[in-house]
Structure 1
Amino acid sequence: MADPAGTPFDARELRQVLGSFVTGVTVITTVDAAGKPHGLTVNSFSSVSLDPPLVLWSQSLNAPSHPVFLQAERFVVNILADDQVEISNKFARGNADKFAGCATDPGLGGVPLIRGSAAWLECRRMESFRGGDHMVFLGQVERIERTGRQPLVFGGGRYLVAQPHDLGALLTESGPNIARLQAVRLATRAVVELSDEIDETLGLGVWGNHGPTIVRWEEAKLPVSDNLRTGLVLPVLTSATGLAFAAWLPPELSAPFIDAELAQDGNDQFLADARGLPERLAEIRSQGFVRLVGIDDFTELYGRSISALSVPVFDPDGAMVLALTAIGASDRLDTSDSGKVLVGMLRCAATLTQRLRGSSAPASP
C-alpha cells in the first residue's frame, strides 16, 4: 500500500494499473450536422442508472471527432463481439474513413449501428462535462438490442476472451464428464497466459474414448510444427501426455490401451521397456511430472526430434482430469528441474488443481 503521503507515479504506471481493470470494448458512433458518420473505439463506458436508463463514456479533448460528439444530439454504443478485433483497431486509429468496408445499419436519428456487434444501446445525449483531459458524456438509453454473441474483452494492454468462471463447488456437484469440461474451460485461459510467459508450445490433454487426446494447443512464437491439431490422439507409452495418464489414472482405465500398444509392437527392446513400466510409472508419480528428452517417435508428425514435459491436474476427488504438456525441439526446450518451463508448469498445474478443489490449501495429488 502507498504511504500516507502518497507515492509519486507517472502516467505510464497509472495506465498499467488501470489496465488491470478488465473491460468490454465498444465503438461509439454518431453523425454530424451534414449526416456524415463518425466513430471511435472506447472502453471507458459504464452503466450509470436503470431508472432512468443512463450510461456514460468519455473522450479525449484532443480527439479529432471531439467537436462532433460535443454537438451531437445522439450516439450509439456498439458493444463489440469477440470476432471484431479488426473493427476495434480500425476505429481506434485516426483513419480518414473508418466506416469504409464496415457494414452498418441506420439507427435512431440515422446514427450507424455496426453489424455483428454483441449489443447496441441507442442513446440521446443528456449532458457533457469536463473531467481533466477528457469530456464525459451522459446519455439516456432509448432503444436496445442484444444478439447473444460473446463480447470482446480488453485488459492489460491486450484483447482477451470472456469465459465462465468455473468454481470448485460447481465441480463437486457435477458428473465426471461435466467436471472435465469445466476443467478444460478453466485451464484454457491459464495455458494461454503460461505459454505467453515461457514462450513454449503447450497442450491440454484429456483421457478420451481413444486414450490420451489433445483438446487445446497454444503455440510459442516459434511453432514446433505446422501439424499441431486438436483432437490428436497420442500413444500411452511413448508420449509425455500418455505416460502422465498411465501414472495417475486407475490401472483399469489405461491397461487396455497399454496392452493394445504392446501387442502392436513386438520388438524385444519395447517389451523389455514395458516390463519395467510399473517402476517407471512409480518414479513419475514420485517426481510429480513426466520428462522425455530427444524423442524420435513423432518425427513424421513434427518433422524433428522433440522433448516434452507433462504434469497432471486433479479434480476435487483427487482424480486426474487434465495433462498440461509442453513440447519443443530437442535442442531448444529446457527440460531441467529448475528451468522456467517445468517450474511454470508445476505452478500452473498446482493452481488449477487448487481452484478445481475450491480450496486455498496447497494443492497436492
Structure 2
Amino acid sequence: MKKLKVIELFAGVGGFRLGLESTNGYEIVWSNQWEPSTKTQHASILYEARFGSKNHSNRNISEVKTSEIPDADVLVGGFPCQDYSIATTLQNSKGLIGKKGVLWWSIHRILSEKKNPPKYLFLENVDRLLKSPSHQRGRDFAIMLKSLDDLGYAVEWRVINAADYGMPQRRRRIFFLGYHKSTQIYKSLKKSNKAEWIYKLGTIASEFSVINDNKSPKTIEIKDDLVEISNNFNKNGTFSIFENSGVFINGQAYTSKTTSNYNGKFTVLSDVLQVDSVPDEFYIPLEDYPKWEYLKGAKKEIRTAKSGFQYSYSEGSMIFPESPNKASRTIITGEGGRSASRFKHVIKTSKGLRRLTPLELERLNMFPDNHTKLEGFSDTKRAFFMGNALVVGVVEKIGKSLYDKICS
C-alpha cells in the first residue's frame, strides 16, 4: 500500500496523526507543535512520548525556515482561529504578508516558498471561521480561499458535527481540503457539476453523506486582491455569505446549506463512561450541589460591574445532569478541576453526581484510552488537551476518502 507523506502543523497531542495513520495510508514525515503562552511545552512533550521525537519540531512555526521542512504529499493542521486581515503589501515577488504571529500566514509561507509544495491540504478550524469577523462576515474565510487560489489550490469545505454521524460528541468544526492544480482531483472538480460535487461526488460527501435537495449552490465571485478583500469584503454585512458546505476554484465559490444524512449506529454519552474505578475526587460533595445547580440553572438578575455600573443579566438553563442517552455536549478546555462551572459535564451515577474523567474525555474525542496520561501531567491539563483536540473519527473518515481519491 502506497504511503502518502504528511507534514503535520499545530499538532497538539496528535489527533490528526491518529486519524490518518489508522487508515495505514499516511506517514507523518515532519510535525510541529509550539504553545507560545507557556514555558513548559506540555502538548509537545506528550506528542513525543506517544510518537517519538524523530522529525518533530517544538519551535514557533513562524521562525522555522521552509528549507528545514521536508517535502510531502499532504499538509495537515488545526490552526488557531485569529484575525486574518492583511497588514502590509511588500513591493517584491512575495506579494502580500499577513499580520505577524497569525499562523495562517505560516501555512501560506510554506506553500509559497516550497519548490515542491504539498499537492493536498487537510485543515480544520472552529465553524465560526465562516462568519468572522463580526463587522465583515466571512471575510477571514474569503482571504484564505483567495490566498490558496493564488497559490494554485482549489478548496472543498464542510462544517461537520461529529454527533450527526454517530460519534459520541456534539462538536462542530469546519474541515477543508485543498487540491493543487497539478492534481487529478483539481481537474475533476474543475469539470464537475459543482452541486453534484458538494452533495455526492466530493471527498467529504463520499464519507459524510448529506440529503440531496437538488438546490443549486449560491455562487460568489472572489477575484479581488487580498488587500481589497481584507478591507472591503462583505463590509458591514449582517450575515456571512458562506454556507456550511462548498467548493472554491478559479476565483469562484459555490456554497450550499447541507443537512447530514446518516442511518448508522449512534454512540451516546453512556457508551463511553467508566463503569468502575472512578476516583472519589470526581464526585461532587453534597454541600456543593446548590452551587452547581445555580450555575447550571436559568438566571434573570441584576449584576454590578467592577465600575459600579448595574445591569440586567439573563441566561437559560443547562441540562443538569447530562443526558446519558445522547451524544455529549462539546468538551471545552476548562473541563478539568473540581470548581463548580456552568459548562463542565456532570453525570448522575448510583454514587451521586460526578464530573467526567480524563479517560472519558479522551473517548468523547475518540482518542485511545489514556493517550494523555503521562507522569507529572494533571487531570486538569489532560482535560485541557481534549478541549483543544478534534474528533479523531472525523479525520479518519475524511483521510480514508482522500486517500481513495488520490490513489484510485
Task: State the TM-score, normalizing by the size of structure 2.
Answer: 0.17
- The answer to which structure, 1 or 2, has the higher relative contact order (CA under 8 A, 6+ apart) is 2
In terms of fraction of residues, the more strand-rich structure is 1
Query: Is the radius of gyration larger for structure 1 or structure 2?
Result: 1
Task: State the TM-score, normalizing by the size of structure 1.
Answer: 0.18
